[in-house]
Structure 1
């Protein structure tokens, strides 16, 4: 069965029990991918959800089909975040709100960057949502550039690397301090939007022992 066939199948009305199973699989997959990345298998998801592997495969032909279903919700959330940020009257604050929102998405979701990269090969509706997000964020950045509050040359294309940087901190320090990434996200923001605040840095650095545990992957 092709991904397109699966997409069409998923649009048909489901029996109540089938609908519950599909939502359970999606919720479980969302959590597993967020916590462990896209290396999670459909067998892993079936086990975590407490359903048979066949139940998963009846709803999703393969892992790519499942990821595509989750992509729709990710882009919906990010487009909503961009729309909220665009409502800020201060151009600097609008971009700051959006960037911090994206960093928070990534801090919670290890699979975010990989999933977004896959969007280019997804069905047209998802590609359209990706393109809509790019247009929304480009407008926010253009407002900040016109106001002279963003570093010259900054663009939407910089976001994948910035979210990867902040995500690496979040992944490394999650066991020691799940909010440690915020301190370093603020440093990134000040690099993109210089001169915006004289407030002290958010939070406190990890102590030496915590840093060593984090860098060695210890809890």
Structure 2
């Protein structure tokens, strides 16, 4: 009589990929969670070795789940890039062009302030594979359309170009990197100042949403950076 073999337990799978064992999928999710944390705080220069150590898995496991860092960048940031695109497309439906423009500018600034890696993958445009490049190509025309609507409405300065905005976001990002531990919302103060500078129809200064640092906070911020 032939010996019966135990049935193979079900495994989890993802579309378009070979099914992973449950423990392999758990390791994959641990690597993604660790990468999200490290990329957000340290940017995209962290290595797969760093991420594996932070996730508590072996380096070999990391390379089995992700061929290289760029594959992991795509796994971490695709959903976040999609959300930015959705914010831009929603802002385009706003009845007031200036409000739609400022809504997206502020929301994207908030995401970039909280996540250094997202700022780098979207604004620098040098990380990720073809999928991330395609998402950036969707975001750029939506952001440009928001700018054009606000200019046509006479509310945004007509000498502003679409290429100004990635640089303004980088400026706000530098403030965040300096002040994260002292005043994580400080970027909002400078967002307010920038927004006043962009308006074509300002009659009085807009109240700033965050106070200035006092001298002790300023010293802490600069000391921490260096």
Alignment TM class, shorter chain as reference:
0.7 to 0.9
Task: Give 1:117 shift.
Answer: 5.1
* Residue 165 of structure 1 pairs with residue 179 of structure 2: no
Task: Give 1:122 shift.
Answer: 4.7
Are residues 131 and 110 of structure 1, via their aligned partners in 2, closer, same or farther at CA, if it must alter by over 3 Å?
same
Question: 1:200 is matched with which residue?
Answer: 207
Q: Tell me if the contact between 2:192 and 2:206 (Cα under 8 Å) persists in the aligned partners.
A: no
Structure 1, unpaired ranges of 5+: 1-8
Question: RMSD of aligned C-alpha atoms?
Answer: 2.5
Q: How does 1:57-72 map to 2 (within 5 A)?
A: 57-72=63-78
Task: Give 1:47 shift.
Answer: 1.4
Task: Give 1:185 shift.
Answer: 1.0
* Residue 211 of structure 1 pairs with residue 218 of structure 2: yes
Computing the radius of gyration from Cα coordinates, the structure with the larger value is 2
Structure 2, unpaired ranges of 5+: 1-14
TM-score, normalisation: structure 2: 0.84
Question: 2:9 is matched with which residue?
Answer: none
Q: Tell me if the contact between 1:82 and 1:133 (Cα under 8 Å) persists in the aligned partners.
A: yes
Write 1 or 2 for the structure with the bigger share of helix. 1
Q: Tell me if the contact between 1:68 and 1:122 (Cα under 8 Å) persists in the aligned partners.
A: yes
Note the alpha carbon deviations across 1:164-215, whole angstroms, 9 max, x for none.
Answer: 1001111111111111111111111221234287542112111101101101
- Taking the aligned partners of 1:206 and 1:119, their CA distance within structure 2 comes to 32
- Taking the aligned partners of 1:165 and 1:187, their CA distance within structure 2 comes to 12
Q: How does 1:1-219 map to 2 (within 5 A)?
A: 11-116=17-122, 119=125, 122-194=128-200, 195=202, 198-217=205-224
Corresponding pairs, count: 212
Secondary structure at the counterpart of residue 34 of structure 2: helix
Note the alpha carbon deviations across 1:137-167, whole angstroms, 9 max, x for none.
Answer: 1111111111011111323211221111001
